[in-house]
């Protein structure tokens, strides 16, 4: 039915629950989660190829030079980015590739891959986001205020995305994400050989 997989870019502010939603849908092997590359050192417990692809600065810059990064940015003297090859390989194999990435990176992907689909995960409200961040209990009030400010800034960019869904109740958010992906599979832009298949089998 489909030759290539879909490139699905997912963003949302810290505390919106996108990790939990993605963990649910990634149980299905038709999805592939793209792992970022970085030049920073692995922290204790982090595994190369699981948390990140840990690369040397030389290797990362070589990839940039050879258009081997779909997007990258530098932050605190380290590079972070999305290697192109695993994404393209998986799409060719018909897998749907999930890119979990912040807004600026997503907009860079949009330039290089206009066929990608952009989905923003919203908290039900800023009030609820504050409650969730407080509940974690790991951060000071100052840090929580900073996160809420960042979240507000990101949510204001959500109109640049194709879809937005609210993560109020997890199972509904998961169903909504799966509905979007199913609809994209059925979109004739992504599956127009289906018509020929029906006509061929006379």
φ, ψ dihedrals at 147, nearest 5° = -65, -40
Query: Do the Cβ atoms of 59 and 81 come closer than 8 Å?
Result: no
Helix axes 18-25, 170-186, angle to 10 degrees: 60
Which of 26, 73, 126, 143 binds a copy of itself (CB under 8 A)? It is: 126
With CB under 8 A as the contact rule, which of the stretches 54-62, 72-80, 106-114, 178-186 interacts with a copy of itself?
178-186
User: What is the pairing mode between strands 37-38 and 96-100?
Assistant: unpaired
Q: Is 4 exposed, middle or buried (0-12, 13-18, 19+ CB in 10 A)?
A: middle
With CB under 8 A as the contact rule, which of the stretches 96-104, 107-115, 136-144, 148-156 interacts with a copy of itself?
148-156
Minimum CB separation from a copy of itself for residue 61, in Å?
Answer: 36
* Nearest to a copy of itself of 84, 117 (CB atom): 117
Closest among 45, 10, 38 to 163, alpha carbons compared:
10
Which of 71, 166, 171, 174 binds a copy of itself (CB under 8 A)? It is: 166
Question: For binding to a copy of itself (CB under 8 A), which residues are involved?
Answer: 122-128, 152, 155-156, 158-159, 161-166, 175-176, 178-180, 182-184, 186-188, 191-192, 194-195, 197-199, 201-202
């Amino acid at each position: 039915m489909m030759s290539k997989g879909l490139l699905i870019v997912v963003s949302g502010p810290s505390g919106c629950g996108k990790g939990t939603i993605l963990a649910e849908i990634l149980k299905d092997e038709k999805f592939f989660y793209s792992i970022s590359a970085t030049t920073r050192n692995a922290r204790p417990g982090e595994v190369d190829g699981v948390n990140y692809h840990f690369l040397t600065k030389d290797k990362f810059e070589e990839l940039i030079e050879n258009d081997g990064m779909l997007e990258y940015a530098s932050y605190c003297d380290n590079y972070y980015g999305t290697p192109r090859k695993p994404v393209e390989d998986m799409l060719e194999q018909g897998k749907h590739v999930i890119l979990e990435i912040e807004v600026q990176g997503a907009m860079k992907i949009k330039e290089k891959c206009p066929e990608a689909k952009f989905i923003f995960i919203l908290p039900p409200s800023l009030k609820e986001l504050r409650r969730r961040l407080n509940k974690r209990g790991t951060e000071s009030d100052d840090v929580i205020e900073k996160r809420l400010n960042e979240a507000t800034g990101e949510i204001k960019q959500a109109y640049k995305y194709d879809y937005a869904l609210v993560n109020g109740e997890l199972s509904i958010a998961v169903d909504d994400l799966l509905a979007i992906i199913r609809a994209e599979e059925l979109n004739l832009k992504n599956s127009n050989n289906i018509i020929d298949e029906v006509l061929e089998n006379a």
